[in-house]
Amino acid sequence: MEFDYNHIFLDNRQLTNKAAMIWCNIIAAIFGIVWVLYLLQIVNIANPMFAYLAPVCVILLVLPTVLHKIFSLSDASKVSEKHTFILALFILGCCLLTTFIASCCLSSYIMAAWLLPLVIACQYYSKKTTAIVYAMGLLGMLAATFITGAPVTEALPYIMIYCAFFPLFMMITKRTSLLLKKQKLSIMALQAKQNLDNMHEFPDTFLTDCKIKMHYLAKNGIDIDAALEKMGGNVEKYNDFVLTFLGESNRKEDELFSLLTPDTILQYGAKVRSLRIKANALGLTQLTDTAFFHEIEAYANSFEVVRLNWEKLSFEWDEACEVFTAYIRSLGLKNHATDENGNQITFKEWGEHLQEAFDALEIYDTKRARSILNELLRYQIDSDITKNLQSIVANIDEILKA
């Protein structure tokens, strides 16, 4: 499954555009009401040009909404980044121009409105866009002051407040940009996780090959039909069980032998019971019977009987491992990965560490996630997964630099 990471950016920008247009429409409505009240001489505005410029402001403020409706720019999945960005610039341009016209009409009463374009610009837009809107606003504010002939001392407090708010808006821009990167990171992590899950989904041809080569297991005394029946006919599950059995057999056999003492014979019985259950699940009929004999005698505290029959159990166990090893090799399966230095890690351990990295990403612990992922990248599990993990690490690096 391919993700268009840019789609996240467009969705967020569209939300900002829609919110900005709602604000523009609200302000247009306020301008319209004030204009009507002015015409009815209910409110008094010193500048007579307001009667002509107020409708212009209303038209400018509703124009982005009209454009948005005409060209159906509401769905980011159907609109390119270019069109979305043009709409954003158009909204910002109309806001700046409207604020400039209103400032010329209403003088200092409208000075606070210069912050509105900045509020829009700092949401899901770049620092560059925010800085340009800020600069245009500052120039427009000075130009409006000059045109109206207002004293600089009168406009100075508003200009100082405007300048004081700029770092805050830049910080909001940085925060939303960081949030966007984190959203992108989460999607990439999800894709990597899905690819990892897909590794365990084998094609029908592979399953057919497994069933053919399982005749080898049947020829060597393994009741493969009974084993598959217990697992619901799931060949993949059986193969995973075999890999687990092989991976832990040497350690389990050593542990079992270490318990072969008069004082720990009951613990030996519990361990050999676990072996019996696994052997039975895998269709190892002979090993199951021998393990059951050891279990009964161990619980009966018959240490000598168990000791005398240890070689038989060990031989059948090793023989089962040899048969399974040959079967797994014939399929080309393995349960571990190796790095350049020859160090090995089982797929189970690798998956557990990857889950730890995903958990760290969920709480935005980027440093811990990066450390785990860099460690996992030493082992080549799958080319697609490696590529995705490298992309995640690269994006984490961007976030850490932010």
Element (H, E) at 346: strand 344-346
Q: Return the minimum-mean-pLDDT range out of 76-90, 182-196, 209-223, 339-353.
A: 182-196
Contacts of 6 (CB under 8 A, 6+ apart): 81
pLDDT band at 202 (very low <50, low <70, confident <90, very high): very low
Q: Measured between alpha carbons, how far is 81 from 14 in angstroms, rounded to an integer? A: 10
Q: Select the more confidently predicted residue: 383 or 228.
A: 228
CB 366 within 8 A of CB 400: yes
Q: Measured between alpha carbons, how far is 196 from 141 in angstroms, rounded to an integer? A: 56
Instruction: Give the tens place of pLDDT for each residue, 108-145.
Output: 667 677 777 877 777 656 778 888 888 888 888 888 87
The angle subtended at Cα 176 by Cα 172 and Cα 178, nearest 5°, is 115
Per residue in 298-336, is it b (16+ CB within 10 Å) or e — as a string? beeeebeebeeeeeebeebbeebbebbeebbeeeeeebe
What is the pLDDT, as a whole number, of residue 78? 54
CATH architecture of 204-334: Up-down Bundle (1.20)
pLDDT over threshold 60, residue 37: yes
What is the pLDDT, as a whole number, of residue 386? 74
What is the pLDDT, as a whole number, of residue 110? 72
Total residue length of the chain: 402
Q: Where are the domains of the chain?
A: 5-150, 204-334
Instruction: Give the tens place of pLDDT for each residue, 211-265.
Output: 777 888 888 889 998 998 988 888 878 888 888 888 888 889 999 999 999 999 9
pLDDT band at 23 (very low <50, low <70, confident <90, very high): confident
Over range 190-194, report the average pLDDT: 62
pLDDT band at 1 (very low <50, low <70, confident <90, very high): very low
Instruction: Give the tens place of pLDDT for each residue, 69-100.
Output: 776 655 545 556 677 777 778 888 888 888 88
Q: Nearest-CA neighbor of 298 among 278, 280, 275?
A: 275
